[in-house]
Protein backbone atom coordinates (compact mmCIF):
# COMPACT_ATOMS: atom_id res chain seq x y z
CA UNK A 1 0.00 0.00 0.00
CA UNK A 2 1.52 3.32 -1.07
CA UNK A 3 1.26 6.45 1.00
CA UNK A 4 0.78 9.82 -0.63
CA UNK A 5 2.88 12.72 0.63
CA UNK A 6 0.87 15.91 1.08
CA UNK A 7 1.75 18.59 -1.44
CA UNK A 8 2.49 21.06 1.34
CA UNK A 9 5.37 18.85 2.51
CA UNK A 10 7.01 18.48 -0.95
CA UNK A 11 8.57 22.00 -1.02
CA UNK A 12 10.00 21.40 2.42
CA UNK A 13 11.54 18.11 1.30
CA UNK A 14 13.01 19.77 -1.80
CA UNK A 15 14.53 22.51 0.37
CA UNK A 16 16.00 19.94 2.77
CA UNK A 17 17.55 18.03 -0.14
CA UNK A 18 19.06 21.20 -1.57
CA UNK A 19 20.54 22.11 1.81
CA UNK A 20 21.98 18.63 2.17
CA UNK A 21 23.66 18.90 -1.24
CA UNK A 22 25.06 22.31 -0.33
CA UNK A 23 26.46 20.90 2.90
CA UNK A 24 28.18 18.10 0.98
CA UNK A 25 29.76 20.55 -1.43
CA UNK A 26 30.88 22.80 1.39
CA UNK A 27 32.59 19.91 3.18
CA UNK A 28 34.98 19.21 0.27
CA UNK A 29 38.55 19.68 1.55
CA UNK A 30 40.54 22.53 0.06
CA UNK A 31 43.47 21.71 -2.24
CA UNK A 32 47.04 22.39 -1.09
CA UNK A 33 49.53 23.76 -3.62
CA UNK A 34 53.31 23.24 -3.72
CA UNK A 35 56.39 24.78 -5.33
CA UNK A 36 59.93 23.42 -5.53
CA UNK A 37 62.56 25.80 -4.15
CA UNK A 38 66.21 26.46 -5.10
CA UNK A 39 69.18 25.83 -2.81
CA UNK A 40 69.38 28.03 0.26
CA UNK A 41 72.15 30.58 0.76
CA UNK A 42 73.72 28.32 3.39
CA UNK A 43 73.74 25.32 1.03
CA UNK A 44 75.35 27.37 -1.73
CA UNK A 45 78.07 28.77 0.55
CA UNK A 46 78.99 25.24 1.69
CA UNK A 47 79.35 24.22 -1.95
CA UNK A 48 82.08 26.86 -2.51
CA UNK A 49 80.96 28.07 -5.94
CA UNK A 50 83.55 28.67 -8.65
CA UNK A 51 83.43 31.15 -11.50
CA UNK A 52 82.53 29.62 -14.84
CA UNK A 53 84.39 30.71 -17.93
CA UNK A 54 81.44 30.57 -20.33
CA UNK A 55 77.76 31.41 -20.33
CA UNK A 56 75.62 28.31 -19.84
CA UNK A 57 72.51 28.01 -21.99
CA UNK A 58 69.78 25.91 -20.35
CA UNK A 59 67.01 24.42 -22.46
CA UNK A 60 63.56 24.19 -20.82
CA UNK A 61 63.58 21.02 -18.72
CA UNK A 62 61.63 18.20 -20.32
CA UNK A 63 59.24 16.13 -18.19
CA UNK A 64 57.31 12.99 -19.20
CA UNK A 65 53.60 13.24 -19.90
CA UNK A 66 52.64 11.44 -16.70
CA UNK A 67 54.09 14.37 -14.74
CA UNK A 68 52.78 17.13 -17.00
CA UNK A 69 49.67 17.71 -14.89
CA UNK A 70 48.79 19.72 -11.76
CA UNK A 71 48.08 16.72 -9.51
CA UNK A 72 50.80 15.28 -7.27
CA UNK A 73 51.79 11.85 -8.62
CA UNK A 74 52.77 8.81 -6.55
CA UNK A 75 53.45 5.23 -7.62
CA UNK A 76 51.02 2.95 -5.78
CA UNK A 77 52.32 -0.35 -7.15
CA UNK A 78 53.81 -2.02 -10.20
CA UNK A 79 52.65 -0.09 -13.29
CA UNK A 80 50.09 1.86 -11.24
CA UNK A 81 50.10 5.52 -10.23
CA UNK A 82 47.82 7.70 -8.14
CA UNK A 83 46.90 11.32 -8.89
CA UNK A 84 46.09 13.35 -5.78
CA UNK A 85 43.33 15.85 -6.54
CA UNK A 86 43.83 17.71 -3.25
CA UNK A 87 47.63 18.10 -3.44
CA UNK A 88 48.73 19.96 -6.55
CA UNK A 89 51.67 21.85 -8.05
CA UNK A 90 51.16 25.61 -7.95
CA UNK A 91 52.46 25.95 -11.51
CA UNK A 92 53.40 23.70 -14.38
CA UNK A 93 56.06 21.31 -13.09
CA UNK A 94 58.27 21.79 -16.15
CA UNK A 95 58.42 25.55 -15.52
CA UNK A 96 59.05 25.10 -11.79
CA UNK A 97 61.92 22.64 -12.31
CA UNK A 98 63.48 24.81 -15.03
CA UNK A 99 63.44 27.90 -12.83
CA UNK A 100 64.87 26.06 -9.79
CA UNK A 101 67.68 24.46 -11.80
CA UNK A 102 68.54 27.75 -13.45
CA UNK A 103 68.81 29.46 -10.06
CA UNK A 104 70.83 26.58 -8.57
CA UNK A 105 73.28 26.43 -11.46
CA UNK A 106 73.74 30.20 -11.62
CA UNK A 107 74.46 30.36 -7.89
CA UNK A 108 76.79 27.35 -7.82
CA UNK A 109 78.72 28.34 -10.94
CA UNK A 110 78.67 32.08 -10.28
CA UNK A 111 77.89 32.36 -13.98
CA UNK A 112 75.28 33.69 -16.33
CA UNK A 113 72.76 30.90 -16.94
CA UNK A 114 70.25 31.84 -19.63
CA UNK A 115 67.37 30.00 -21.22
CA UNK A 116 67.78 28.77 -24.77
CA UNK A 117 64.98 31.04 -26.00
CA UNK A 118 66.69 34.14 -24.58
CA UNK A 119 68.34 36.72 -26.83
CA UNK A 120 71.40 36.36 -24.58
CA UNK A 121 71.97 32.77 -25.74
CA UNK A 122 74.89 32.74 -28.17
CA UNK A 123 75.50 30.02 -30.78
CA UNK A 124 78.93 29.16 -29.32
CA UNK A 125 77.84 28.98 -25.65
CA UNK A 126 77.73 25.76 -23.67
CA UNK A 127 74.27 24.21 -23.89
CA UNK A 128 72.67 21.97 -21.29
CA UNK A 129 69.65 19.82 -22.11
CA UNK A 130 67.95 17.92 -19.27
CA UNK A 131 65.18 15.33 -19.61
CA UNK A 132 63.44 14.20 -16.43
CA UNK A 133 62.57 10.50 -16.76
CA UNK A 134 61.10 9.88 -13.29
CA UNK A 135 60.10 12.27 -10.51
CA UNK A 136 57.67 10.83 -7.99
CA UNK A 137 57.26 8.92 -4.72
CA UNK A 138 57.63 5.17 -5.22
CA UNK A 139 55.55 2.43 -3.50
CA UNK A 140 58.21 2.15 -0.76
CA UNK A 141 57.77 5.81 0.16
CA UNK A 142 61.03 6.96 -1.43
CA UNK A 143 61.49 10.10 -3.49
CA UNK A 144 62.79 9.15 -6.95
CA UNK A 145 64.51 11.33 -9.54
CA UNK A 146 66.01 9.97 -12.75
CA UNK A 147 67.32 12.47 -15.28
CA UNK A 148 69.27 12.28 -18.50
CA UNK A 149 71.41 15.30 -19.40
CA UNK A 150 73.64 16.39 -22.23
CA UNK A 151 76.15 19.24 -22.64
CA UNK A 152 77.15 20.46 -26.09
CA UNK A 153 79.17 23.26 -27.62
CA UNK A 154 79.19 24.45 -31.22
CA UNK A 155 76.71 21.70 -32.06
CA UNK A 156 78.96 18.91 -30.77
CA UNK A 157 78.02 16.79 -27.75
CA UNK A 158 80.70 16.94 -25.06
CA UNK A 159 79.09 14.66 -22.48
CA UNK A 160 75.82 12.74 -22.17
CA UNK A 161 74.95 10.98 -18.91
CA UNK A 162 72.15 9.87 -16.62
CA UNK A 163 71.79 10.51 -12.87
CA UNK A 164 69.50 8.70 -10.42
CA UNK A 165 68.50 9.64 -6.86
CA UNK A 166 66.44 7.93 -4.15
CA UNK A 167 65.82 9.57 -0.80
CA UNK A 168 63.71 8.24 2.08
CA UNK A 169 60.36 9.92 2.55
CA UNK A 170 56.90 8.85 3.75
CA UNK A 171 53.83 7.10 2.37
CA UNK A 172 51.21 9.64 3.40
CA UNK A 173 52.75 13.02 4.32
CA UNK A 174 52.72 14.99 1.06
CA UNK A 175 54.62 18.07 2.35
CA UNK A 176 57.49 15.79 3.42
CA UNK A 177 57.31 13.99 0.09
CA UNK A 178 57.63 17.30 -1.77
CA UNK A 179 60.63 18.23 0.40
CA UNK A 180 62.32 14.92 -0.43
CA UNK A 181 61.75 15.43 -4.17
CA UNK A 182 63.10 18.97 -3.81
CA UNK A 183 66.26 17.59 -2.17
CA UNK A 184 66.71 15.18 -5.08
CA UNK A 185 66.48 18.03 -7.56
CA UNK A 186 68.94 20.23 -5.64
CA UNK A 187 71.43 17.37 -5.35
CA UNK A 188 71.16 16.84 -9.08
CA UNK A 189 72.11 20.49 -9.67
CA UNK A 190 75.07 20.15 -7.30
CA UNK A 191 76.28 16.96 -8.98
CA UNK A 192 75.95 18.55 -12.41
CA UNK A 193 78.26 21.37 -11.34
CA UNK A 194 80.80 18.89 -9.94
CA UNK A 195 80.72 16.97 -13.22
CA UNK A 196 81.21 20.13 -15.24
CA UNK A 197 84.28 20.89 -13.13
CA UNK A 198 85.86 17.54 -14.08
CA UNK A 199 85.43 18.51 -17.73
CA UNK A 200 87.23 21.82 -17.17
CA UNK A 201 84.11 23.78 -18.01
CA UNK A 202 84.23 25.96 -14.91
Could you give the C-alpha distances from 28 to 73, 86, 87, 98, 172, in angstroms and in order? 20, 10, 13, 33, 19
Q: Is the pLDDT of residue 74 over 50?
A: yes
3-class DSSP assignment, residue 121: coil
**Which pLDDT tens digit goes with each residue over 26-68?**
567 899 999 999 999 878 865 555 566 668 999 999 999 999 9
12 within some domain = no
Torsions phi, psi for 18 (to 5 deg)? -65, -40
Is residue 1 domain-resident?
Answer: no
Above 80 in pLDDT, residue 137?
yes
Domain that holds residue 157: 49-198
Q: Please give the tally of structural domains in the chain.
A: 1
Smallest CA-to-CA distance from 189 within 38, 17, 8 is with 38
pLDDT in the model for residue 19: 46
Q: In the chain, pLDDT over 90 holds for what percent of residues? A: 63
H runs (alpha helix) in the chain: 10-26, 41-46, 93-109, 174-198
> Nearest to residue 174, comparing CAs of 166, 182, 185, 186?
182
In this predicted structure, the answer to whether residue 181 has a pLDDT above a threshold of 80 is yes
pLDDT of residue 42: 79
User: Is the pLDDT score of 25 beyond 90?
Assistant: no
Tens of pLDDT, residue by residue over 78-97, are 999 999 999 999 999 999 99
Tell whether 16 is covered by a domain: no
Element (H, E) at 74: strand 71-77
Please calculate the CA angle 4-5-9 and round it to the nearest 5 degrees: 165
* Percentage of the chain modeled with pLDDT above 70: 79
* CATH number of residue 89's parent domain: 3.40.50.10610
Amino acid sequence: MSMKIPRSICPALSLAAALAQTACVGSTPASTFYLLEPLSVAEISVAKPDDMKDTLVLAPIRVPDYLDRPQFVTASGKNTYRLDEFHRWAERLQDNITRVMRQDLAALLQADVVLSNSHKAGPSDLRLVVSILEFHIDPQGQAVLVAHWRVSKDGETIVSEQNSYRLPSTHDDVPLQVQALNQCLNRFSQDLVLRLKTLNMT
